[in-house]
């Protein structure tokens, strides 16, 4: 049986690693697929618990190449660059000064996919990423690790699996479980994981409605937390910033053709928290923020 390749198209909201993916599809041996995507993102004003507010905008660009080497093995490489620009107004918890401004997260990853007998499959996705504010030391801003998962297709309409993400994220070890679900409830409804897991957290879950060939509507959520090295000349020189949130969203997608689609996403970031640690990873400030509206638009295509 041919392998089911993993096609990851970047689609993020407010810096979270939210990613939409087309349903797995078989490729003939020797076939190569190239995919590209771009996503402008925005988080609107959110109040900080101890006074002040903040908002941010950004863009995510990604590209990947996947090749089917044998009927049971496919491998690929992907590159990604995230940029976020944050603005703070009178953040009392941070002494009235913005804890960070411009954050960069370039990354490189591999996808290794195997298909076994009796419906079993496995995937390994090692990756490395640099997460840092402008002016920070990139040598102290490396995140690396891998996502490992296995799944089994029990019927043509149901695939379930388990996995884990294991990462070293700027002086902190992180391990989180991943539950894989692809359950076609009917011809028009499906429950599935829309997100690629990575250093920012595990995959989410969404309920998808497909009324026709062109349009798709969905709602879902996940959790996200990511750390980055701070500016050497900033308010916390060489420290560590962290942003945590639980994004809940709705999505409308339009398929412009067999290989291209446009995703419109709107939602809210719940349980948000901003954290600043010193360069030795000792917590200095932890500040909750109010539910924050989040918006994103992704154009993705493959060749």
Contacting residues for 187 by C-beta, under 8 A, at least 6 apart: none
| Spatial contact of 91 and 100, defined as CB atoms under 8 Å apart | no
Contacting residues for 6 by C-beta, under 8 A, at least 6 apart: 21, 24, 66, 74, 76, 111, 113, 123, 125
Identify the pLDDT of residue 201.
56
Identify the pLDDT of residue 156.
86
Phi, psi of 189 (to 5 degrees): -120, 140
DSSP secondary structure letter of residue 23: P
Identify the pLDDT of residue 17.
29
Exposure letters 262-279 (e unless 16+ CB within 10 A, then b): ebebebbbeebebbbbeb
Identify the pLDDT of residue 21.
36
CA distance 202 to 13: 15
* pTM of the predicted model as reported, rounded to 2 decimal places: 0.88
Residue with tokens 């980055």: 228
Identify the pLDDT of residue 15.
30
Domains of the chain by start residue, with CATH: 9-302 (2.40.160)
For residue 243, give both structure tokens.
């942003």
Each residue's pLDDT expressed in tens, for the chain with a length of 303 residues: 333 322 222 222 223 323 333 334 468 999 999 999 999 999 999 999 999 999 999 999 999 999 999 999 999 999 999 999 999 999 999 999 999 999 999 999 999 999 988 999 999 999 999 999 999 999 999 999 999 999 999 988 999 999 999 999 998 999 988 899 999 999 999 999 886 655 555 578 999 999 999 999 999 998 889 999 999 999 999 999 999 999 999 999 999 988 999 999 999 999 999 999 999 999 999 999 999 999 999 999 999
């Amino acid at each position: 049986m041919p392998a089911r390749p993993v096609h990851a198209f970047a689609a993020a909201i407010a810096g979270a690693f939210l990613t939409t993916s087309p349903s797995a599809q078989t490729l003939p041996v020797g076939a190569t697929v190239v995919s590209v995507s771009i996503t402008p993102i925005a988080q609107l004003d959110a109040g900080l618990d101890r006074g002040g507010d903040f908002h941010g905008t950004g863009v995510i660009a990604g590209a990947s190449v996947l090749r089917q080497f044998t009927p049971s093995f496919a491998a690929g490489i992907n590159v990604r660059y995230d940029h976020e620009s944050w603005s703070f107004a009178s953040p009392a918890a941070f002494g009235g000064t913005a804890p960070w401004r411009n954050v960069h997260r370039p990354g490189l990853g591999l996808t290794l996919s195997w298909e076994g007998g009796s419906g079993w499959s496995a995937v390994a996705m090692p990756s490395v990423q640099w997460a840092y504010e402008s002016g920070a030391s990139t040598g102290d801003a490396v995140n690396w690790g891998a996502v490992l998962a296995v799944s089994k297709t029990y019927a043509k309409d149901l695939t379930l699996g388990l996995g884990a993400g294991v990462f070293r994220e700027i002086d902190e070890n992180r391990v989180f479980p991943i539950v894989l679900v692809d359950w076609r409830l009917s011809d028009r409804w499906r429950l599935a994981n829309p997100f690629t897991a990575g250093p920012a957290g595990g995959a989410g879950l969404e309920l998808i409605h497909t009324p026709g060939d062109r349009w798709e509507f969905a709602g879902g959520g996940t959790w996200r937390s990511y750390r980055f090295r701070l500016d050497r000349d900033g308010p916390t020189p060489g420290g560590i910033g962290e942003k945590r949130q639980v994004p809940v969203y709705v999505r409308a997608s339009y398929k412009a053709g067999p290989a291209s689609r446009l995703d419109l996403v709107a939602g809210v970031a719940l349980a948000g928290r901003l954290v600043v640690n010193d360069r030795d990873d000792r917590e200095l400030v932890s500040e909750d923020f109010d539910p924050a509206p989040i918006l994103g638009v992704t154009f993705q295509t493959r060749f």
